[in-house]
């Protein structure tokens, strides 16, 4: 039985890729040194998978920034504004923007990869779009592995998924209408791979798990029949993941491919439906190991799926695999030395998931293998652990009253009270929360953990940095201040460390976008807040200024979405536990005198189920959680929320139902296009559209920011418009932060002057 892996983490087991990219961007290493780091990571990954018995080892799952961006470069989908740059500069400019004395080129848009926290670079399509084989990365890496003695399975994003991931620009047309221009390039590429020696090619079409119309289904049929006619001997593994293909099962099962991969972790019930409809020649790749979470696989449960398929199809027509690419989990559990041994025994990172595949294959071949009994012991220990359940926490979550879900006044009344209390000018300026975490700050935190400095020394230094940044904000002229979050390692991890029910890895890094890696907390049990988490720092910050200071909290849905969540109870039960923890913090911040409290729900849209039939239930839980967290605030306390890259079309009523006083959103990369949703719906509360892109190192001019604000004023009433960057500034350097915010404040002041005149 073949063991099929869909993809492996590209960052390196010590985040080598992150460090190499950032050194290259800052001019500390050459392009050749950057490329050598990439080659080393690829060879290490291929060899590791070979050693762990993987039969179908992926290539082209590596990327220096993003796999969708790689495909855009490969197919020549390069916006005109980048055409004069050389290849490497062009690649990173599309992702990060490009600024020189004579040029200021905006980056391409970035958004979430389906319902994950991974961000991809959005392809831009024009009505006159053409495609050509502009780059041979996928072929080069296949040959590179071949030269190392490893026959890989090249991985491509399918042509239909690639087009559906993109965005049409400057015209109104269906991106799928470009398929007749794109498909010949795919055929050319597949021909070259076949001639180079590829036996299998994995083509990822996750859109097959979404709601498709007749035209889209027909396009799948046309495209894959053309591929089969052109390349009858090439074995295509068509991969679906993140959802079941139930509604599209007939369309998928009738495609002329060698193997269909299905995600049995996200949609275990789909197997029966597929087995009832499958034809006599199609093979199945069963995604029985969770590629998006870190819990050890229950072998007995996984084997039942495999045996059911084998009983009907025969062993030769069944492969076993993770549910999706392992890019969404950390590299190796063996890098962890600080996780509690009891809980560590419940976990499996990417490398361990390879081992699990091999062990499941062994058990299937040798039913009396001791591997099954050993796995059963671990699974049983977790399910019976007394550390997981807290009856008093569960009781509180079940006893939610209507009063706990409502503010004490409607928005119009709150707005008047807040205006009287806060005395803010028109077009108030603020930032989203965090300021740059310099090497000095990171060293302080590391030295505290190592015991090199005392907690008192650490606190004194963080207070000094906080006081300096507050004074700097006052001098700059910002209207609503933040304390900078220097005491926080991460917007989710920080809170998890102060809540019961979490455990943390030391090296469990996962790529979020480009060189940005995050270390998701692990929620293993019931969640409880035993003490205040942010009150001391927020109170200290407010004591240093007469201007309003925002209390900064991460919202329950975002903590849930950006953690590895326990899988032994419904997600919404864990969400409500988090909401009550945040609620208690809001109440304590208010008692401490904070009049503005921001509850970040950066991941609210990200968590939305991919299928429409499941979305109402999600919104019910998500909005309920936000209201539990925020409704405790008195009317004069202003509640803010922030949301990262999101598509708001069709969900505006849900955002309004959350009833935050101010919502700040990321709109800069789309040139304020996202605001159209707010205009169509006439969003009633206040809005802070991001006026510059913090994910790019480029510095916006005063004029650029003014132009963004003028666009916003066409949609947002003057009294409802805030001025802010589009996200937190933690990942930026101080020089660009200072210059950008100075220009932002000046733009707001210019707007006020024009308004007075």
**Residue 698 in tokens:** 């480029």
- Could you give the CA distance from residue 404 to residue 628 in angstroms, rounded to a whole number? 6
- Could you give the CA distance from residue 455 to residue 457 in angstroms, rounded to a whole number? 5
Q: Does 3 map to a domain? A: no
Tell me which of 599 and 170 has the higher pLDDT: 599
- In this structure, the answer to whether residues 431 and 329 fall within a common structural domain is no
**Residue 518 in tokens:** 């995050």
Q: Which of 52, 119, 465, 695 is catalytic?
A: 695
- What contacts 504, CB < 8 A, 6 or more positions away? 338, 339, 493, 496, 497, 519, 521, 522
pLDDT at 645 over 60: no
- Over residues 176-202, the pLDDT tens digits come to 999 999 999 999 999 999 999 999 999
In 73-113, where do the E strands start and end?
Answer: 98-99, 104-105, 110-112
Q: Are strands 119-121 and 110-112 parallel, antiparallel or unpaired?
A: antiparallel
- In this structure, the answer to whether residues 285 and 406 fall within a common structural domain is no
Mean pLDDT of 231-237: 97
Q: Is 117 annotated as ligand-binding?
A: yes
- In this structure, the answer to whether residues 353 and 406 fall within a common structural domain is no
- Over residues 61-79, the pLDDT tens digits come to 999 999 999 999 999 999 9
Q: Is 28 helix (H, G, I), strand (E, B) or coil?
A: coil
Q: Does 389 map to a domain? A: no
Q: Does 318 map to a domain? A: yes
Looking at residue 730, its pLDDT comes to 87
Which range (48-57, 71-80, 356-365, 652-661) has the least confidence? Answer: 652-661
Mean pLDDT of 462-478: 96
489 pLDDT band, cuts 50/70/90, is confident
Q: Is 317 annotated as ligand-binding?
A: no
Phi-psi region of 556 (alpha: psi -120 to 50; beta: other; left: phi over 0): alpha
Q: Does 629 map to a domain? A: yes
- Could you give the CA distance from residue 432 to residue 664 in angstroms, rounded to a whole number? 8
Of 383, 417, 446, the residue that ends a domain is: 383
Q: Residue 375 CB: number of other CB atoms within 10 A?
A: 20
Q: Residue 662 CB: number of other CB atoms within 10 A?
A: 23
Looking at residue 716, its pLDDT comes to 87
pLDDT at 646 over 60: no
H or E stretch including 187?
Answer: helix 179-196
- In this structure, the answer to whether residues 634 and 513 fall within a common structural domain is yes
In 13-88, where do the E strands start and end?
Answer: 57-59
Give Dmax (Cα) for the chain. 85
- Could you give the CA distance from residue 301 to residue 264 in angstroms, rounded to a whole number? 11
86 pLDDT band, cuts 50/70/90, is confident
Q: Does 465 map to a domain? A: no
- In this structure, the answer to whether residues 410 and 301 fall within a common structural domain is no
List b or e across 133-153, with b for residues whose CB sees 16 or more CB atoms inside 10 angstroms: eebebbbebbbbbeeeebbbb
Q: Is 689 helix (H, G, I), strand (E, B) or coil?
A: strand
**Residue 46 in tokens:** 């291929």
- In this structure, the answer to whether residues 343 and 408 fall within a common structural domain is no
Looking at residue 433, its pLDDT comes to 87
Mean pLDDT of 650-671: 82
Give DSSP secondary structure letters for 234-272.
SEEEEE--SS--GGGHHHHHTS--SEEEEETTT-TTHHH
- In this structure, the answer to whether residues 349 and 483 fall within a common structural domain is no
| Residue located via tokens 């789909």 | 270
Vertex 421 angle, CA 419 and 427, to 5°: 40
Q: What is the pTM of this model?
A: 0.91
Q: Specify whether 695 is catalytic.
A: yes
- Could you give the CA distance from residue 271 to residue 308 in angstroms, rounded to a whole number? 9
- Over residues 118-161, the pLDDT tens digits come to 999 999 999 999 999 999 999 999 999 999 999 999 999 999 99
672 pLDDT band, cuts 50/70/90, is low
Looking at residue 655, its pLDDT comes to 87
- What contacts 2, CB < 8 A, 6 or more positions away? 55, 56, 319, 320
- In this structure, the answer to whether residues 321 and 416 fall within a common structural domain is no
Looking at residue 712, its pLDDT comes to 87
Q: Is 230 annotated as ligand-binding?
A: no
- In this structure, the answer to whether residues 524 and 598 fall within a common structural domain is yes
| Alpha helix positions (H), 314-410 | 341-344, 350-365, 370-383, 391-398
- Could you give the CA distance from residue 698 to residue 107 in angstroms, rounded to a whole number? 9
Q: Does 463 map to a domain? A: no
Looking at residue 647, its pLDDT comes to 65
Considering Cα of 520, then 523, then 527, then 531, what sign does the dihedral take? negative
**Residue 501 in tokens:** 């029910």
Q: Is 137 annotated as ligand-binding?
A: no
H or E stretch including 744?
Answer: helix 734-756
Q: Is 485 annotated as ligand-binding?
A: yes
Q: Is 307 helix (H, G, I), strand (E, B) or coil?
A: helix
- Could you give the CA distance from residue 223 to residue 179 in angstroms, rounded to a whole number? 8
Looking at residue 681, its pLDDT comes to 77
Please give the share of the chain, as a percent, with pLDDT higher than 90: 83
Q: Is 23 annotated as ligand-binding?
A: no
Q: Is 619 annotated as ligand-binding?
A: no
DSSP 198: -
DSSP 721: B
- Over residues 540-556, the pLDDT tens digits come to 999 999 999 999 999 99
Name the residue range of residue 87's domain: 16-383
Which range (80-84, 353-357, 391-395) has the least confidence? Answer: 80-84
Q: Does 8 map to a domain? A: no
- In this structure, the answer to whether residues 286 and 430 fall within a common structural domain is no
> What are the Cα distances from residue 53, in Å, to 37, 357, 362?
25, 9, 11
- Over residues 325-344, the pLDDT tens digits come to 999 999 999 999 999 999 99
- Could you give the CA distance from residue 70 to residue 217 in angstroms, rounded to a whole number? 26
**Residue 153 in tokens:** 């399975």
The answer to whether residues 253 and 271 touch, using CB atoms and an 8 Å cutoff, is no
Q: Residue 217 CB: number of other CB atoms within 10 A?
A: 18
Looking at residue 147, its pLDDT comes to 98
- In this structure, the answer to whether residues 68 and 175 fall within a common structural domain is yes
Nearest alpha-carbon partner for 641 in 615, 677, 666, 606: 666
The answer to whether residues 99 and 698 touch, using CB atoms and an 8 Å cutoff, is yes
H or E stretch including 68?
Answer: helix 67-74
Q: Is 21 annotated as ligand-binding?
A: no
233 pLDDT band, cuts 50/70/90, is very high
- Over residues 414-453, the pLDDT tens digits come to 999 999 999 999 999 999 988 988 889 989 988 998 999 9
- Could you give the CA distance from residue 176 to residue 323 in angstroms, rounded to a whole number? 27
Q: What is the CATH number of the domain that holds 484?
A: 3.20.20.210
Q: Does 739 map to a domain? A: yes
Q: Is 516 annotated as ligand-binding?
A: yes
pLDDT at 403 over 90: no
Q: Is 642 annotated as ligand-binding?
A: yes
- In this structure, the answer to whether residues 363 and 429 fall within a common structural domain is no
> What are the Cα distances from residue 521, in Å, to 203, 256, 294, 495, 752?
32, 42, 11, 9, 43
Rg (CA), the chain: 26
- Over residues 197-208, the pLDDT tens digits come to 999 999 999 999
> What are the Cα distances from residue 124, in Å, to 79, 162, 206?
7, 11, 20
Looking at residue 714, its pLDDT comes to 87
- Over residues 16-56, the pLDDT tens digits come to 999 999 999 999 999 999 999 999 999 999 999 999 999 99
Question: What total of structural domains would you count in the chain?
Answer: 2
Mean pLDDT of 297-314: 98
Tell me which of 294 and 98 has the higher pLDDT: 294
Looking at residue 649, its pLDDT comes to 72
Q: Is 80 helix (H, G, I), strand (E, B) or coil?
A: helix
């Amino acid at each position: 039985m073949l063991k099929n892996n869909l993809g492996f983490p590209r960052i390196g087991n010590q985040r080598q890729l992150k460090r190499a990219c950032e050194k290259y961007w800052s001019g500390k290493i050459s392009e050749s040194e950057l490329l050598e780091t990439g080659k080393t990571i690829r060879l290490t990954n291929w060899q590791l998978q070979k050693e762990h018995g993987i039969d179908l080892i992926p290539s082209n799952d590596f990327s220096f920034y993003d796999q969708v961006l790689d495909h855009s470069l490969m197919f020549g989908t390069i916006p005109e504004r980048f055409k004069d740059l050389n290849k490497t500069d062009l690649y990173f400019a599309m992702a990060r923007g490009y600024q020189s004395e004579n040029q200021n080129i905006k980056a391409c848009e970035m958004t979430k990869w389906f319902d994950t926290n991974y961000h991809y670079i959005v392809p831009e399509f024009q009505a006159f779009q053409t495609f050509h084989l502009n780059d041979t990365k996928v072929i080069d890496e296949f040959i590179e592995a071949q030269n190392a003695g490893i026959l890989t399975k090249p991985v491509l994003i399918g042509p239909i998924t690639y087009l559906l991931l993109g965005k049409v620009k400057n015209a109104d047309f269906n991106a799928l209408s470009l398929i007749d221009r794109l498909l010949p390039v795919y055929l050319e590429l597949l021909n070259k791979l076949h001639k180079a020696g590829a036996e299998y090619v994995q083509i990822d079409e996750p859109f097959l798990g979404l709601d498709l119309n007749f035209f889209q289904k027909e396009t799948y049929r046309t495209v894959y029949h053309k591929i089969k006619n052109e390349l009858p001997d090439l074995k295509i593994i068509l991969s679906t993941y993140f959802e079941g293909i139930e509604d599209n099962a007939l369309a998928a099962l009738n495609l002329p491919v060698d193997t269909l991969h299905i995600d049995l972790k996200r949609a275990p019930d789909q197997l029966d439906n597929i087995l009832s409809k499958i034809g006599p020649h199609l093979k199945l790749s069963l995604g029985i190991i969770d590629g998006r979470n870190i819990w050890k696989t229950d072998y007995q449960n996984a084997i039942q799926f495999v045996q059911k398929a084998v009983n009907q199809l025969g062993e030769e027509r069944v492969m076993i695999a993770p549910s999706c690419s392992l890019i969404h989990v950390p590299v190796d559990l063996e890098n962890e030395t600080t996780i509690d041994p009891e809980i560590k025994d419940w976990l499996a990172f990417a490398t361990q998931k390879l081992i699990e595949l091999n062990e499941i294959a062994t058990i299937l071949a040798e039913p009396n293998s001791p591997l099954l009994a050993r796995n059963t012991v671990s699974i049983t220990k977790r399910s019976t652990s007394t550390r997981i359940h807290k009856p008093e926490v569960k009781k509180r979550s079940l006893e939610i009253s209507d009063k706990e879900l409502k503010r004490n006044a409607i928005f119009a009344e709150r707005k008047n009270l807040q205006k009287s209390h806060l005395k803010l000018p028109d077009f108030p300026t603020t930032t989203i929360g965090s300021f740059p975490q310099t090497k000095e700050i990171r060293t302080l935190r590391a030295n505290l953990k190592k015991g090199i400095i005392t907690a008192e020394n650490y606190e004194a230094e963080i207070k000094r940095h906080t006081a300096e940044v507050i004074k700097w904000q006052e001098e700059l002229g910002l209207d609503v201040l933040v304390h900078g979050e220097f005491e926080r390692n991460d917007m989710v991890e920080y809170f998890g460390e102060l809540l019961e029910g979490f455990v943390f890895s030391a090296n469990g890094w996962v790529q979020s976008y480009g060189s940005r890696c995050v270390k998701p907390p692990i929620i293993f049990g019931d969640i409880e807040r035993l003490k205040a988490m942010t009150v001391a720092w927020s109170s200290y910050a407010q004591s240093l200024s007469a201007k309003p200071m925002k209390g900064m909290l991460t919202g329950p849905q975002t903590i849930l979405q950006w953690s590895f969540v326990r899988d032994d109870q419904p997600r919404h039960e864990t969400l409500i536990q988090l909401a009550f923890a945040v609620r208690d913090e809001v109440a304590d911040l208010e008692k401490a005198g904070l009049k503005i409290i921001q509850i970040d729900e950066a991941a609210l849209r990200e968590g939305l189920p991919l299928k429409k039939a499941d979305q109402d239930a999600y919104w019910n839980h998500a909005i309920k959680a936000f209201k539990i967290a925020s409704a405790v605030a008195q009317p004069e306390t202003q509640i803010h929320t922030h949301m990262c890259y999101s598509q708001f079309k069709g969900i505006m009523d849900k955002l309004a139902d959350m009833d935050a006083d101010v919502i700040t959103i990321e709109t800069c990369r789309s040139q304020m296009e996202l605001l159209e949703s707010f205009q169509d719906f006439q969003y009633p509360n206040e809005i802070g559209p991001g006026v510059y892109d913090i994910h790019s190192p480029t510095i916006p001019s005063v004029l650029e920011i003014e132009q963004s604000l003028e666009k916003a004023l066409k949609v947002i009433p003057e009294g409802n418009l805030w001025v802010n960057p589009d996200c937190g500034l933690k990942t930026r350097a101080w020089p660009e932060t200072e210059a950008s915010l100075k220009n932002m404040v000046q733009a707001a002041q210019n707007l006020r002057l024009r308004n007075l005149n």
